[in-house]
Chain A
């Protein structure tokens, strides 16, 4: 089954979404078209503000606008929202719990821009920030629906955003739900039914996992697969139920360092819940990445479908005999939404 590729899903969607929300303003730092808000600027010039390459000022400025009743949506590359201006994010925005939306593009190794442009540590850094909500988009449906999720939150929100050609993995009528994992398949009749392996993925890693998990399931392995879009708070009862159902182990896969991100959050949940099965975290392992294509980097850092299959084999202690050809396509036929959780 082929996957629909949506070209620049944020562009028109954000314009339409903003039409009846005069409080929404956009601030950018010289990456307006790169962050797909050039047409938004031309549509709503009176509420678009160019702040130049000065992110510290931009974040504190946004705080001032939020204090006056506006909802600033900052658009720039993710790295520039939390590295240099972290103090401003903490003191001007997060401490006062202001409704500032930080839309961060180029998460992890999705860019050939190299170390300066690759946000590989953002979730880890920002999970330590009180009052801040962290969301991540994994497909076009989530790029579209993350707007409503963020808009409804009383406080600041950081969004790991996708741009350009984005696959639609999830039905358009099944939007992102705050604090709720998507169930992309269960080993038994429900998410708490025993599963040999429980796989949790986020962002672009879910697309890779959708190549791997069905192929492994075809080999008779009971796998429950969840897609995570809310990193903080991380208290979804579906996630806890799935983790408790694991009989052999849990695997996380993320486009991020394995420290601080999804793998760490799952480890914390398992330790606090006394869930005593092995955990394998797939992600960048105490390393920066470099400038190269996404496919090249996914393979180099063992973040691709093949690496997930390998991890599942290791955890089960047996060769599953999955051929490369089995991993070539995203198999969204296996996707089961939260709305259809029981309909395996």
Chain B
């Protein structure tokens, strides 16, 4: 895959937009639990949709419980019209805007909570990156946010990128638990060519990818250390059905290449 937005194929652009939609929505929801500054914005109900023509919508909503996100074709529990839709006219616009670059996005109000939704989204979209950048953020929180982003990117890449079909076909089906340490755990189920996020089971998982501690998880999830190296250094371990986890590593590798796509070519690049 080429490293710049302008060089991606139409299919790759759509995959990238799906990933950005899902990661943005999920981090915007996850941030609410950890950023006290978001509390005032997320205390009253709102429903926000992120939409690109031809792609599954992503939602961020505050109803009765905590702020929650849905993406990749998941349906919100309450099928009510959104208070606000952020409409991106194209995958390219979506990828650019959600990466912090200039692009077209149109807010379309649909209910009384539109202003609240916009305020929350503006604050939340900046919150997770800020927490990840801050040296004061505890490793366990950093691991939780990175795991959230990685799982979203993994699911969208697996389900949307046709190039992943052979990789997924090569891996066995099953349920994987990723344990980032410090109580941060997520689970994924692979069935045929699809991947979905599921509740972490008490037992019955087919494989477990466990990091020694949140710091080790952060190093791998932030791309500072390869998973293979972390395994050798005993900072991570795989138990159970190893090929299932290896199959996910392959998808994660592809996802990280999408996430590294830059909107603009820098001087001296792109030849």
Bind each other: no
